[in-house]
């Protein structure tokens, strides 16, 4: 049985005080059946950690550098994230791939770095609109998975399927479209690892998730939760998504 996860990716939003207020407003959540993780900007991690310390909410980071330390101006490493209480880290969000040229080989290093510091990686995959229209979605997803997971043994990890055309566009994948890709991801993981391991890996859907569309998405057998962007910046929307039955 996979525990549902609702993850809130705040992206480059919230000042320090806004982050603190948003985190505090979420601490009333008590939902034993759902794991809730928020991903604030780096500079707010410590403040948010303090705000949520007596709640069920967990902390994650939006990316990390694959080296432990050194002359990498502006970067943040695994040990730093661990020291501020991050249990999860997003790896390969499509915005990182697109705007910061992160390719699968680099993401492979980042996943290794996360694992070596006991931070659970949430690997993001997803096709562009052109790739979906060319009917290459499944090939693209398979390549992203196999290249990023090359020589990485099975471990506690999470996959997020985020079709690029659905991110921030209000254009959500239909539950059927999402389920098809989620089942394909699980099949690919089962070939890459084994079936028992693949059954344990949670696969989240991301891309314009709202309280309105979450119920039909979560009915699907391979959709184990959501990676929420815009709607995670509103306390009411995020809590409503968490409380989806
Ligand atoms: P939106 O929910 O704003 O579409 O963003 C999805 C996302 O990219 C989460 O990582």
Give the tens place of pLDDT for each residue, 173-206. 999 999 999 999 999 999 999 999 999 999 999 9
User: 234 Cβ partners below 8 Å, 6+ apart?
Assistant: none
Closest residue by CA, ligand 1 atom 1: 229
Secondary structure (3-state) at 243: coil
Q: How far is CA 223 from the centre of its chain?
A: 13
Whole-Å CA distances, 165 to 94, 161, 162, 178 = 10, 12, 8, 13
Give me the catalytic one of 66, 102, 162, 182: 162
182 is catalytic: no
Q: Give residue 127 CA to ligand 1 midpoint distance, Å.
A: 14
Q: Whose CA is nearest to atom 9 of ligand 1?
A: 229
Mean pLDDT check: name the lowest of 6-15, 24-33, 143-152, 202-211: 24-33
In terms of pTM, does the model score above 0.95?
yes
> Which residue among 6, 7, 9 has the greatest number of ligand 1 atoms within 8 angstroms of its CB, and so is best to mutate?
9
Interval 37-91: pLDDT, tens: 999 999 999 999 999 999 999 999 999 999 999 999 999 999 999 999 999 999 9
Residue of 93, 102, 117, 131 with catalytic role: 93
- Judge if the beta carbon of residue 224 lies within 6 A of ligand 1: no
The answer to whether residue 29 scores a pLDDT higher than 90 is: no
Residue 176 annotated as catalytic? no
Q: Which atom of ligand 1 is the closest one to the Cα of 95?
A: 8
Q: What is the pLDDT of residue 31?
A: 66
CA of 237 to the centre of ligand 1 (A): 13
**Is 103 exposed, middle or buried, given 0-12, 13-18 or 19+ CB atoms closer than 10 A?**
exposed
Residue 161 has pLDDT above 70, yes or no: yes
What is the set of domains in the chain, with CATH numbers? 5-242 (3.20.20.70)
């Amino acid at each position: 049985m996979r525990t549902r996860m609702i993850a809130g990716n705040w992206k480059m939003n919230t000042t320090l005080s806004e982050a603190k207020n948003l985190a505090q407003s979420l601490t009333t959540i008590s939902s034993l059946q759902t794991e809730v993780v928020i991903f604030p900007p780096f500079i707010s991690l410590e403040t948010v950690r303090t705000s949520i310390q007596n709640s069920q909410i967990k902390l994650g980071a939006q990316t990390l550098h694959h080296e432990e330390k050194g002359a990498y101006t502006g970067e943040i490493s695994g040990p730093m994230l661990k020291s501020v209480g991050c249990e999860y880290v997003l790896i390969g969000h499509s915005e990182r791939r697109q705007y910061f040229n992160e390719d699968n080989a680099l993401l492979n290093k980042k996943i290794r770095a996360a694992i070596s510091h006991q931070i659970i990686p949430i690997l993001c995959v997803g096709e562009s609109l052109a790739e979906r229209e060319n009917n290459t979605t499944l090939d693209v997803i398979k390549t992203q998975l196999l290249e990023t997971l090359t020589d990485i043994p099975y471990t506690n990890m999470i996959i997020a399927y985020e079709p690029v055309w659905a991110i921030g566009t209000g254009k959500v994948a239909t539950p059927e479209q999402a389920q098809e890709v989620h089942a394909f991801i699980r099949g690919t993981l089962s070939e890459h690892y084994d079936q028992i391991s693949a059954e344990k890996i949670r696969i989240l859907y991301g891309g314009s998730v709202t309280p309105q569309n979450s119920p039909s998405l979560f009915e699907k057998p391979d959709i184990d939760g959501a990676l929420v962007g815009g709607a995670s910046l509103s306390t009411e929307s995020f809590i409503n998504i968490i409380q989806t039955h």
